Amino acid sequence: MVDTKVNLLGITLDNPIIPASGTFGFGYEFSELYDINCLGTFSFKGTTLEPRFGNPTPRIAECSSGLINSVGLQNPGVDKVIGEELPKLAKVFNKKVMANVSGFSVEEYRETCRRLNDCEQIGWFEVNVSCPNVHGGGLSFGTSEKAVSEVTKAVKEVTTKPIILKLSPNVTDIVSIAKACEDAGADGVSLINTLLGMRIDLKTRKPVVANRMGGFSGDAIFPVAVRMVHQVSKAVKIPVIGMGGVSSAEDVIEIMLAGATAVGVGAANLVNPYACRDIINDLPRVMEKYNIKSLSEIIGGCK
C-alpha cells in the first residue's frame, strides 16, 4: 500500500495532483465526467476584479507536442465568482480549492484577494504574475523583482490564507524572481506558466492566433519546467508547485524529484478531460515500479 498524500502549506492533499488554472474552469463542468473529489485540489480560472471577455479569436494554435493559447483571462469577475461559481462548485467538490487571481495593478490584486478571502471553500491563493496574453497584466509584474515583491506584500496585507505566486518562465533568471517573492512574504511559488510562442499560417502569412502571440504549453515544455523547478526549489525554503507539460504519473514523480511538493496538470486536460483522474489512478502502480512508498519522501530527491 503506497501513500500518495502530500502536505501543501498546512493542508493535506490526498495526492499532489492539481489541475492548473485555465484548464479546468470552475470545476463543475468536469464533475459531469468524473468525481472531481479524487483530485488533490484544483486551481480555478484566473479571476480579475471586473469581468473580462478575453482576447479576439482565434485564441488557440495547435503545435507538435503542445498548443498556444491566448485566452486573455476571460472570466466573470470576482463578484460573480463568489456569488455564482463557488456555490455551484460547493455542490460537487468538498475539498479546499485554490483561487487563481490576476490583475492589472497592485491595487487590483489586493482588492480581488480581499473579496475572496472570506470564502470558506478557498484554501490557498495562487497569485498569477505570469499571464503572457494581456498587455500590462500579470507578466509585466512577473518579470520584475520589485513588482512581484509589491504584489506579494499587497496581497499578504489582506489575506489570511497562504499565497502562492505563479511565476513565468519568460525571464532571464527565475530564481531571483522566486527569491523576491519569498523575501516579500510569499508562502509558496508555482511554476512554470506558459512560454511565449507564435505560429504563422503559410497561406495567409498571418499569425494563427489573433493576438499574434500566446502562451505555449504541453508535453514539449516539460524539460524546461523540471529544470526551473529544480533551480528554484534549491534556492528557496518555501514549497514549489511544479507544472508545465505534466501528462503522466511518471512526469509527476520526475517533477517531484526535481523539488515540487504538489504538481499542476494543465494542457493535458485539454487533450484528455480524464487526464488528472487517469494520472491519480496510475500513481500507485508507478510508485511501486520505482519502489516509492510515500510521495512526500521523494520531494527534491534528485541526486
Q: Which lies closer to ligand SIN via its Cβ, residue 197 or residue 215?
A: 215
Q: Is residue 128 involved in binding ligand SIN (CB under 6 A)? A: yes
Which of the stretches 8-16, 23-31, 69-77, 171-179 binds ligand SIN when contact is defined by CB under 6 A?
69-77
Q: Is residue 133 involved in binding ligand SIN (CB under 6 A)? A: yes
Whole-angstrom distance, CA of residue 292 vs CA of residue 74 = 40
Rg (CA), the chain: 18
Q: Which lies closer to ligand SIN via its Cβ, residue 191 or residue 280?
A: 191
- Cα–Cα distances (Å) from 106 to 50, 180, 232, 294, in that order, read 14, 16, 24, 40
3-state secondary structure of 253: helix
Q: Is residue 130 involved in binding ligand SIN (CB under 6 A)? A: yes
Whole-angstrom distance, CA of residue 44 vs CA of residue 26 = 5
Q: Is residue 195 involved in binding ligand SIN (CB under 6 A)? A: no
Q: Is residue 215 involved in binding ligand SIN (CB under 6 A)? A: yes
Among 23, 47, 190, 193, binds ligand SIN (CB under 6 A): 193
CB count, 10 Å around CB of 182?
20
Q: Is residue 46 involved in binding ligand SIN (CB under 6 A)? A: yes
Among 67, 73, 209, 241, binds ligand SIN (CB under 6 A): 73
Among 16, 19, 22, 264, binds ligand SIN (CB under 6 A): 22
Hey, which residues between 96 and 115 contact ligand SIN (CB under 6 A)? none
- The answer to whether residue 131 is catalytic is yes
Burial of 74 (0-12, 13-18, 19+ CB in 10 A): middle
CB count, 10 Å around CB of 57?
11
Phi, psi for 139 (deg, rounded to 5): -60, -35
Instruction: Name the minimum Å distance from CB 289 to ligand SIN.
Output: 33
Whole-angstrom distance, CA of residue 145 vs CA of residue 238 = 17
Whole-angstrom distance, CA of residue 286 vs CA of residue 278 = 12
Which residue among the candidates 113, 131, 181, 276 is catalytic per the annotation? 131
- Binding residues (CB under 6 A) for ligand SIN: these are 22, 46, 71-73, 128, 130-131, 133, 193-194, 215
Residues catalogued as catalytic: 131
